[in-house]
Structure 1
Amino acid sequence: MPKDTRDVAEVNTDPVEAATGKTAVLYRMALPDHLCPSGQKARWLLERQGYEVDDRLFRTRAEVDAFKAKHGVQTTPQVWIEGERVGGYTDLREKLTDWGPKATTYRPVLYLFAVAALTAVALSIGFLGAITWQTLGWFISVSMILLGMQKLRDVESFSTMFLNYDLLARRWVPYAYVYPFIETAAGILMTGMILTWLSAPAALFIATIGAVSVFKAVYIDKRELKCACVGGNSNVPLGFVSLTENLMMMGMAIVMLWLAV
């Protein structure tokens, strides 16, 4: 345990007075049956930002309740910096980094595509001994699987976001619920290069509708929306990435149909 960690019972200094300069005061739970993960992350973030942490641990529920009543807070951990209370871990993260709970970001989809690309490369080297045109096909199909799985995590949230812009879903709501299953199944079949007569038309159908829907919403109607591509409740903006995803799916489906003829 860090040497500057103390039990709350051992501390009587006011956090406002103690939190000066690069010294931060952190109150967090370390009960016999619960070591607060947000408290651990708060300490790690403070240290990463160059703060010395006056780490004050609650050892009993009574100490936690007394602290909440005294400071008028609902949760712990609580952090003080430069004589002011910042709040909990998410408040601290927002203050010390460029993170924001509602900020738009491409990170989730970029990470997903990176994993798909590495998987495609691994499959190519492992089964074909080299990177070939099949690598690109696997990249697209594995991306479809991963994107589909993100949607399947919470189909209800995905369908709500999807209905904001998809043209077919807005006319026939059940399409928003079956879309993740079609995308995932088509990706699996295309990765295994089986049942092309089924997977390729299915992928072409959903991708074409998706591309037209995204283009209309973003480039014609000029709407600023969140993309449902990585599931509901994401902060990925609808736009170029979403359109590119659908165009790649369309391209792969067309190539597979052409080769199957």
Structure 2
Amino acid sequence: MRHTYKISGMTCDGCSAKVSFLLKKVPDVADVAIDLEKGTADVTMHSHIPTPTLQDALKDYPKYQLTGHEHGHEPVLDVFGNPPEEEKRSWAETYKPILLLFGYITVVSLIAGYSTESFSLMLFMRVFMAGFFLAFSFFKMLNLKAFAESYAMYDVVAMKFPAWGYVYAFIELALGIAFALEFEPVYTNSFTAVVMSVSLIGVLQSVLNKKTIQCACLGAVFNLPMSTVTIIEDGLMIAMSLGMLAMYI
């Protein structure tokens, strides 16, 4: 017999291989076929296997959430035995973390910009850039290994040199400090424009090819899908760095 299960959390071929390997270790599982794009697993079994047994096989990897097979003979539970959250969320709900973060950074930057006698666009952008890079590097540092693995799925440099993901997190931290201290602004903004432009290439390729992968902008803390939001995010950083560069020159 064969049943199809929904599995969330799979973002690359490595994830599908890991899930397949773990499920095949379950007694009476004959074969596992993963459809990464649909986020499903077709499990062929010699005899009936309860859904909790399959969920238990993934318990050491909580990012992978297996739910009951689509025929509905069994309750839909996650690996902890709880009903999963609704898979279909609104755009605002999906990107709530990044929207809130941008909102906070924008408010602080506006306050800084208006702290002078007249509004300072330069100060606003510098504080925004500092807050952006410091905040985003913070989330990446929470699980540096997971970020590097996710980043290597789409970044053109990290795909060839996986260690670049680790380096990139520290580059963002360094840029945040440099903008906060207004350290060598011409070089800092020039370097920012180059680094973000290279990062944008991989994002554009992923979005245009309609790949369903996780955006690593906030590390592995939030499961944010790659989309035009990521393009806007990178594009905004490039535009601000070039704008500041033009002002300094």
Say whether the 8 Å CA contact 1:142–1:188 is kept in structure 2.
no
Instruction: Report the TM-score, using the length of structure 2 for normalisation.
Output: 0.60
Say whether the 8 Å CA contact 1:157–1:233 is kept in structure 2.
no
1:148 corresponds to 2:152: no
1:216 corresponds to 2:181: no
Higher helix share: 1
Off by >4 Å, runs of 4+ in structure 1: 85-88, 90-94, 97-100
Matches within 5 A, 1:1-261: 94=84, 98=86, 105-125=94-114, 127-129=115-117, 131-134=119-122, 135-219=124-208, 221-261=209-249
Q: Distance in 1 between matches of 2:217 and 2:77?
A: 33
Q: Distance in 2 between matches of 1:190 and 1:252?
A: 12
Say whether the 8 Å CA contact 2:76–2:83 is kept in structure 1.
no
Say whether the 8 Å CA contact 2:149–2:162 is kept in structure 1.
no
Letter in 1 for 2:192: A
Counterparts in 2 of 1:170 and 1:152: CA distance versus 1, 3 Å: same
Say whether the 8 Å CA contact 1:145–1:183 is kept in structure 2.
yes
Counterparts in 2 of 1:99 and 1:170: CA distance versus 1, 3 Å: closer
Counterparts in 2 of 1:196 and 1:106: CA distance versus 1, 3 Å: same
* CA RMSD of superposed structures (Å): 3.0
Q: Distance in 2 between matches of 1:209 and 1:254?
A: 15
Counterparts in 2 of 1:156 and 1:129: CA distance versus 1, 3 Å: farther
Q: Which runs of 5+ in 1 are unaligned?
A: 1-84
Say whether the 8 Å CA contact 1:185–1:199 is kept in structure 2.
no
User: What secondary structure is seen at the aligned counterpart in 2 of 1:171?
Assistant: coil
Q: CA deviation at 1:139?
A: 2.2
Q: Deviations over 1:200-241 (max 9, x none)?
A: 13211220011111011111x220111000011521111112
User: What secondary structure is seen at the aligned counterpart in 2 of 1:170?
Assistant: coil
Identity %: 22
Say whether the 8 Å CA contact 2:150–2:215 is kept in structure 1.
yes
Instruction: Report the TM-score, using the length of structure 1 for normalisation.
Output: 0.57
Letter in 1 for 2:167: V
Q: Distance in 2 between matches of 1:86 and 1:226?
A: 24
Q: Distance in 2 between matches of 1:211 and 1:130?
A: 34
Letter in 2 for 1:120: S
Letter in 2 for 1:255: G
Q: Distance in 2 between matches of 1:183 and 1:92?
A: 37
Q: Distance in 1 between matches of 2:96 and 2:83?
A: 17
Say whether the 8 Å CA contact 1:161–1:226 is kept in structure 2.
yes
